[in-house]
Amino acid sequence: MSLVPGLGVLKGLARTLRNSVGRRQTVQYPEVVQPISPRHRGRLVLLYDEAGALKCETCFQCAQACPIECIDMGGVDTKSRFHVHWGPAEQYAERREESALRRSGRPVPDPTAEAFEPLDTGALDGILQDEDYDPRHMLRILARTQETYGYLPVAALKHISHATGAWYSEVYGTATFYDQLRLAPPSGHTLAVCRCPKCAFHGAGRILYALEEVVGAPIGGMSPEGAVRIETTDCHGDPPDAALVTLDGQPQGRLTPKAAAELASRLRAGHAPRGRA
C-alpha cells in the first residue's frame, strides 16, 4: 500500500471536525454534578492485563506527585513478603486504626497492615550520623545498614526515610533496584562477586558465570535446596589484584572460575568451605 503525502494530516483534521460537532464528554464540574450512588466511596478498581496480572505496579509515583497528598496507596512487594504503602497513613499511622481501614473498604482486622517487627535503631542512628543524614548517600546508607543487620528490615527503611527526609518510595525503590541489597534475612551461604570494571578485568564475569552454572540460579537467586545464594558485592573501587569474591561477607582471595565452581559445589553438598588467605 503506497503512502499518500499529507494523508495523515487530513485524517487528523477530519477527526478534529467530527469531535468539534459531536457530543461533549467533559463534565463541567462543579457546575454540573453527575449522579452518585449513596454508597459510593470513591474506591478505585485496578485493571488486570491479559495475563491476569495487575497493571498497577504500585510504584507510588502518582501518590508522591499528588499536590494535595490525597492519594493513599497500599500493596505487597513482588515476593509477598511484607506490606508497603504511601500516603497520609504512612505519616500518621492511620492504617492501623480500624476506622481508617473501614473507610478504605478493607475488612477489619487487616493482616497485611500489621505493624512491622521492631528494631533497635542504635547502630542505624550511628550510620545516619556518619552520613550526615544526606539522602544523596542513600546507597551507602543502605549498604552499611545491611552489613549491620544482615539485611534491610522494613523498620530500618522507615527509619531511614524519616531521618533523611527521603520519600519511603524512593528508599524502597533503591533497596529493590540493586542486586546486592536484600529485604529478607539471608539463608544458607552467600557467594558474592564484584562486577566493577576493575574486577571484571580480573575475570569476575567468568567467575560469576561458573557460579551460576553450579548453583543453577542467576544473580539474586538461590540453589534449589537453599544452600547457596549468588549476589553481587562492591569493592568500593579498591579491588585486590584479583576479582573480589566473598563467602558470607568474607573475602576469598584469589579464585579462578574453576576454584569458585568447586567452592559452590562443596557448599551445595553440605561440606564446610575451605579457608582461603
Taking the C-alpha atoms of residue 108 and residue 24, their distance in angstroms, rounded to an integer, is: 42
For residue 180, pLDDT beyond 50: yes
Taking the C-alpha atoms of residue 202 and residue 200, their distance in angstroms, rounded to an integer, is: 5
Helix spans in the chain (H): 7-21, 61-65, 88-92, 98-103, 122-130, 138-149, 154-164, 168-177, 197-201, 204-215, 257-269
Per-residue model confidence as pLDDT tens digits over 229-274: 888 888 877 766 788 888 887 888 888 888 888 888 888 887 545 4
Going by C-alpha positions, the residue among 171, 125, 181 that lies closest to residue 150 is 181
Q: What is the mean pLDDT of residues 5-18?
A: 87
Predicted local distance difference test score (pLDDT) of residue 25:
74
Going by C-alpha positions, the residue among 22, 20, 72 that lies closest to residue 44 is 72
Partners of 85 in the β-ladder: 74
Burial (CB count within 10 angstroms: exposed 0-12, middle 13-18, buried 19+), residue 215: buried
> How many C-beta atoms surround the C-beta of residue 91 within 10 A?
11
The total number of residues written for the chain in this structure: 277
Share of the chain above pLDDT 90, in %: 8
Highest mean pLDDT: which of 20-29, 143-152, 180-189? 143-152
> How many C-beta atoms surround the C-beta of residue 251 within 10 A?
17
Find cell 539471608 and name the residue. 186
3-state secondary structure of 121: coil
Taking the C-alpha atoms of residue 233 and residue 210, their distance in angstroms, rounded to an integer, is: 17
Instruction: Band the pLDDT of 5: cuts 50, 70, 90.
Output: confident
Per-residue model confidence as pLDDT tens digits over 93-129: 444 444 444 445 544 444 444 556 778 889 999 999 9
Tell me how far CA of residue 264 lies from CA of 232, 235, 275, in angstroms: 15, 21, 13
Predicted local distance difference test score (pLDDT) of residue 113:
46
Instruction: Band the pLDDT of 86: cuts 50, 70, 90.
Output: low
Tell me how far CA of residue 111 lies from CA of 85, 107, 171, 234, in angstroms: 14, 9, 24, 37
Taking the C-alpha atoms of residue 266 and residue 122, their distance in angstroms, rounded to an integer, is: 38
Q: What is the mean pLDDT of residues 47-74?
A: 68
CB 253 within 8 A of CB 210: no
Predicted local distance difference test score (pLDDT) of residue 98:
47
| Direct distance between the N- and C-terminal alpha carbons of the chain, in angstroms, rounded to an integer | 70
Pairwise pLDDT comparison (172 vs 94), residue with the higher score:
172
Predicted local distance difference test score (pLDDT) of residue 112:
45
Find cell 559452590 and name the residue. 264
> How many C-beta atoms surround the C-beta of residue 156 within 10 A?
25
Average pLDDT of the chain is 76
Taking the C-alpha atoms of residue 28 and residue 98, their distance in angstroms, rounded to an integer, is: 36
Going by C-alpha positions, the residue among 233, 228, 260 that lies closest to residue 244 is 233
